[in-house]
Amino acid sequence: MKHLILGNGPAGVVAAETLRKAAPHDEIVMVGHEDAPPYSRMAIPYLLEGNIDESGTYLRKGADHFERLRVRQMRGRAVALNTEKCTVLFDDGHFESYDRLLIATGSHPVRPPIPGVDLPEVQTCWTLADARAIAAHARPGARVLQLGAGFIGCIIMEALAKRGVQLTVVEMGDRMVPRMMTPKAGGMIKRWVEEKGIRVVTSAGVQRIDRGSEVGADAPLAVTLSTGDRLDCDLVIVAAGVAPNVGFLEETPVHVAKGVLVDDRMETSVSGIFAAGDVAEAPDLFTGAHLVAAIQPNAADQARIAAMNMARGAIARDTKLNGVLAINVLDTLGLISSSFGQWWGEKPDAGGSGVELVDEARYRYLSLQFKDDVLIGATSIGLTQHVGALRGLIHGQVRLGDWKDRLLANPLSFVDAYVARSQQPMALAR
């Protein structure tokens, strides 16, 4: 059997390795479109900080790693899929056949429709080529504007700050990291960042980006904000989110919403075609509704499950995903924050309740969200020990019983709740 893997990021690599173990004699082809060995995008900020070189971003250090696994690597970008003939057309004009197909094409950065967004000094931070371009412009003292203060934006911001640039961050939301932090928590992160010397402008956007020479600015770029402010910049970095790479699936029977829709086996609407990673839209752990959870741990888990179900022979073909759990852990200039599950909570009429603990002076914060007596979401700032217990309670959908009332009274006792309700034999009985 021939397995064709589109994408050589974390999902593609884990899938190839899992397939080789599960199907020792099958043919495996892994396709990437960049001129680099398989690497982790999440390592790019460390590259910009100077902590690693480009080889430090590589997912596997051995130059002959995939050769030893008998995984054939190929360079190209998929442009069309024929599900009847089981072939993929690539940008160089050649076709590749398959028996089983894994779509692990990842995502791409979104460039908002802003006049001037395509100027050379306007960069995304997604590829090694992007990192090289940013490093050339983001020298100490350079005036840099970053558009976006979401999860990826905050990681990039850390790297820029360590390069010694004069940084302004513009976020359209009313707080930093709006898709993973409550209003109170996002506001605390903003205050922390501003105390570190970074200007943060929330509830604002970029209206246009002009050549500085065209408007009399003393810089290569002049950026006009929705607030009316105009900033002289040497570099603009767009961190306005990402979107799954699904264009080649147009006019195919593979169902696509935001990403490629998959079931709990990571199989798409077409038998024999699977998806994993940033491109996959899988069932949520609690609601069953499909969502894209674009983080590396999810990509690896999904890839293993997809590969096991792609394999044939004695391997069980019904390995299933328990459900996607949204997980984000962020280090923002030394302030650790995390969010798990449905951190926004449920409405009271749906069985929802919650508690919030705030210590502004010490930058400590904890929010717990419940549905009936199950913890379904949590947000924390400044808690660096034992936060894995929050994930354990949420992912295990542990029935808390009377421990729910104890947590409402004292949210910081979540570790005791975890030990009492999930680590003891009595936890099996309510």
pLDDT of 313 > 80? The answer is no
For the cut 60, the answer to whether the pLDDT of residue 266 exceeds it is yes
The CATH number of domain 122-238 is 3.50.50.60: yes
Q: What is the CA radius of gyration of the chain?
A: 23
| % of residues, the chain, pLDDT over 70 | 97
Residue with more model confidence, 54 or 285: 54
pLDDT at 215 (0 to 100): 83
The pLDDT score that the predictor gives to residue 428 is 46
Res 317: pLDDT: 58
pTM of the model: 0.93
- Pair type for strands 107-109 and 230-233: unpaired
* Sheet architecture: strand order including 235-238: 122-124, 235-238, 143-147, 166-170, 199-201
pLDDT, position 294: 83
Q: What is the mean pLDDT of residues 247-254?
A: 97
Is residue 430 very low, low, confident or very high in pLDDT (cuts 50, 70, 90)?
A: very low
Residue pair 121/238 in contact (Cβ under 8 Å)? The answer is: no
CATH superfamily of 334-423: FAD/NAD-linked reductase, C-terminal dimerisation domain (3.30.390.30)
User: Residue 163: how many CB atoms within 10 A of its CB?
Assistant: 18
Tell which wins on pLDDT, 323 or 368.
368
- pLDDT reported for residue 67: 97
Q: Evaluate if residue 207 carries a pLDDT over 90.
A: yes
- Mean pLDDT in residue range 139-150: 96
State the average pLDDT over residues 214-243: 94
Query: What is the 3-state composition of the chain as percent helix, strand, coil, each rounded to the nearest 5?
Result: 30, 30, 40
* pLDDT value of position 13: 98
Give the helix ranges, DSSP H, for 114-239: 128-137, 151-162, 183-195, 212-215
Q: Is the pLDDT of residue 315 over 80?
A: no
**pLDDT score at 111:** 94
Lowest-confidence pick of 39-53, 157-171, 229-243, 411-425: 411-425
What's residue 261's pLDDT?
Answer: 98
pLDDT given for residue 218 in this prediction: 86
Give the pLDDT score at 319.
87
Tell whether the model's pLDDT for residue 301 goes beyond 60: yes
Report the distance separating Cα 122 and Cα 238, nearest Å.
7
Contacts of 228 by beta carbon, 8 Å cutoff, 6+ apart: none
Asked if 272 and 260 touch (Cβ cutoff 8 Å), the reply is no
Residues 39 and 52: their CA atoms lie apart, in Å, by 13
- pLDDT greater than 70 at residue 427: no
Query: Domain coordinates of the chain in residue numbers?
Result: 2-42+54-108+243-311, 122-238, 334-423
Q: What is the CATH number of domain 2-42+54-108+243-311?
A: 3.50.50.60
What mean pLDDT value characterizes the chain? 94
CA-wise closest residue to 15 among 311, 269, 252, 255: 311
Of the candidates 106, 88, 105, the one whose C-alpha atom is nearest the C-alpha of residue 97 is: 88
Whole-angstrom distance, CA of residue 283 vs CA of residue 263? 7
Q: Is 334-423 in the same CATH topology as 2-42+54-108+243-311?
A: no
72-106, pLDDT tens digit by residue? 999 999 999 999 999 999 999 999 999 999 999 99
What average pLDDT score do residues 361-374 get? 97
Provide the 3-class DSSP secondary structure of residue 413. Answer: helix
* Per-residue pLDDT at 214: 85
